[in-house]
């Protein structure tokens, strides 16, 4: 049987790959998207994202989805509280509706993009295992089921551990020295009033030297919590995450002496606690043009989440790449060069900010650094 050919193939149906496919579709250009997940609902998408004007919102406008996005925004979600480990409140900012950084459920945003695509655009259960150049900008991509396809334009939108990145760069993500354990508290006002009160209506940053409890309200009335700890990469090795009570104790030991209202964010969590080691690519990661292939989002510029930009950047990358390709039919190389020229400096600036915030958040005098940053930004 002949190997199937797709003029444009996007590996990864995250926010970046989907935004690209949508913007191409708006301009009448077809793309095939491949994702290893068995279905759109295979993995919980948890967590709120705040969507920024110059990146995520601009991407949604390019995708002609801005109007459909508005009803998904969590009212009041931009409220922010900064506390220290004793639960002393240092900043308590209400959401007055003028913040310009609407909060949305990641899953809702992904569903919006998925619904906007022609049926069959995303091939689920399609795990890419590798890709090789065939010459003239064409590539052959192999899948875990042993099948393969060829393409004239290959886009790696496959996140932190991209299988496409090696075609362009030898860089690998490096551990940032921070590990998260994620927790959820469901129906917080009724079931977890202490935790609900300490978080408030939007986001909480409770910080002390080398650790933090970061939390936000979700649109279903739950709280999503990241217990963040400065620790060696091996800190979570050997922890049995099937034994939730043991994990809870292990994490709470790191927050010994913290106010009970803050410890409640972990002590009262419902369901499993989930480990997440935070990695990043080098600030300013870039590559020389390679015909017929490029990267977007985390595949191109994985960074720590401390600037809150990763998903926003993935979306604007997808939108700009889509616009560049649609504007230059038959001239992929010029389109890719134009896209990368805009993407590299944008990603570098955010990656530098994430790296700086990573240091500032966990300083000995935390939360001082974050408060100074908020004060400087007005
Ligand atoms: C704890 C945490 C909190 C965060 N908070 C925020 C925030 O508040 N705001 C913000 O803007 N960003 C945030 N981010 C960053 C954000 O999640 C990422 O930057 C964003 O999801 C990147 O999107 P992407 O489309 O590039 O990649 P991903 O979302 O990682 O999507 C990649 C897709 O590729 C698929 N895939 C992977 N490998 C393969 C393969 N071999 N074959 C086929 N498919 C494959 C995956 O299944 C996935 O669907 C946070 C990140 C973390 C870890």
Spans of the chain below 70 pLDDT: 98-99, 378
Same domain, 239 and 130: no
254 assigned to some structural domain? yes
Residue closest via CA to ligand 1's atom 21 equals 311
Please answer whether residues 213 and 44 qualify as being in contact, where contact means their C-beta atoms are separated by less than 8 angstroms. Answer: no
Residues with CB under 6 A from ligand 1: 11-17, 34-37, 47, 49, 126-128, 157-159, 163, 180, 226, 276, 297-299, 305, 308-312, 314
370 assigned to some structural domain? no
Range of the structural domain that residue 169 is part of = 5-74+100-173+282-360
Same domain, 182 and 193: yes
Same domain, 158 and 288: yes
pLDDT of 98 reads: 67
pTM: 0.96
Please answer whether residues 159 and 298 qualify as being in contact, where contact means their C-beta atoms are separated by less than 8 angstroms. Answer: yes
pLDDT of 325 reads: 98
Same domain, 321 and 228: no
Domain boundary among 280, 301, 317: 280
Which one of 305, 313, 319 would you pick to mutate in the ligand 1 pocket, going by the greatest count of ligand atoms within 8 A of its CB?
305
> Ligand 1 center to residue 299 CA distance, Å?
9
> Ligand 1 center to residue 298 CA distance, Å?
6
Domain boundary among 229, 263, 280: 280
Same domain, 37 and 58: yes
> Ligand 1 center to residue 273 CA distance, Å?
19
Same domain, 157 and 218: no
Work out which ligand 1 atom sits closest to the CA atom of 35: 44
Same domain, 226 and 290: no
DSSP state of 56: I
Same domain, 268 and 333: no
> Ligand 1 center to residue 86 CA distance, Å?
33
CATH number at residue 233: 3.30.9.30
> Ligand 1 center to residue 252 CA distance, Å?
28
Same domain, 150 and 291: yes
Same domain, 148 and 30: yes
Closest to 171 in 3D by CA, of 162, 180, 179? 162
88 assigned to some structural domain? no
CB 39: neighbour CB atoms within 10 A? 10
> Ligand 1 center to residue 90 CA distance, Å?
32
168 assigned to some structural domain? yes
314 assigned to some structural domain? yes
Same domain, 130 and 195: no
pLDDT of 173 reads: 98
Output the CA–CA distances (angstroms, integers) from residue 201 to 87, 89, 103, 196, 223, in the order listed. Answer: 16, 14, 11, 8, 10
Which one of 6, 10, 12 would you pick to mutate in the ligand 1 pocket, going by the greatest count of ligand atoms within 8 A of its CB?
12
Same domain, 135 and 207: no
Work out which ligand 1 atom sits closest to the CA atom of 48: 8
pLDDT of 74 reads: 86
Q: What domain count does the chain have? A: 2
Q: To 10 degrees, what angle do helices 15-26 and 310-327 make?
A: 30
């Amino acid at each position: 049987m002949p190997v199937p050919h797709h003029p444009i193939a996007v590996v990864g149906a995250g926010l970046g790959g989907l935004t690209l496919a949508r913007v191409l579709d708006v301009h009448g250009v077809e793309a095939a998207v491949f994702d290893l997940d068995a279905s759109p609902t295979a993995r919980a998408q948890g967590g709120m994202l705040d969507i920024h004007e110059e990146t995520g919102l601009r991407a949604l406008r390019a995708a002609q989805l801005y109007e459909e996005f508005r009803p998904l925004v969590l009212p009041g979600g931009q409220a922010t509280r900064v506390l220290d480990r004793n639960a002393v409140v240092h900043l308590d900012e209400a959401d007055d509706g003028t913040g310009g950084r609407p909060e949305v459920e990641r899953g809702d945003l992904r569903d919006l993009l998925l619904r906007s695509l022609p049926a069959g655009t995303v091939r689920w259960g399609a795990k890419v295992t590798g890709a090789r150049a065939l010459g003239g900008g064409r590539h052959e991509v192999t899948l875990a089921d042993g099948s393969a396809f060829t393409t004239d334009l290959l886009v790696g939108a496959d996140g932190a551990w991209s299988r496409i990145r090696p075609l362009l760069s030898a860089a690998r993500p490096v551990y940032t020295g921070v590990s998260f354990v994620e927790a959820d508290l469901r129906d917080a006002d009724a079931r977890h009033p202490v935790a609900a009160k300490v978080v408030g209506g939007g986001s909480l940053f409770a910080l002390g030297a080398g650790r933090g409890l970061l939390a936000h309200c979700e649109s279903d009335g739950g709280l999503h919590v990241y217990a963040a700890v400065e620790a060696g990469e091996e800190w979570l090795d050997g922890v049995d995450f099937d034994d939730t009570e043991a994990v809870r104790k292990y994490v709470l030991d790191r927050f010994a002496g913290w106010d009970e209202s803050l410890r409640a964010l972990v002590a009262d969590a419902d369901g499993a606690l989930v480990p997440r080691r935070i990695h990043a690519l080098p600030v300013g990661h870039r590559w020389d043009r390679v015909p017929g292939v490029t990267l977007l989002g985390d595949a191109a510029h994985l960074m720590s989440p401390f600037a809150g930009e990763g998903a926003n950047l993935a979306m604007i990358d997808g939108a700009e790449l889509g616009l560049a390709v649609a504007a230059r039919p038959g001239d992929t190389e010029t389109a890719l060069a134009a896209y990368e020229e805009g993407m590299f400096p944008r990603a570098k600036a955010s990656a530098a900010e994430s790296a700086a915030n990573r240091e500032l958040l966990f300083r000995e005098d935390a939360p001082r650094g974050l408060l100074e940053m908020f004060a400087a930004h007005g």
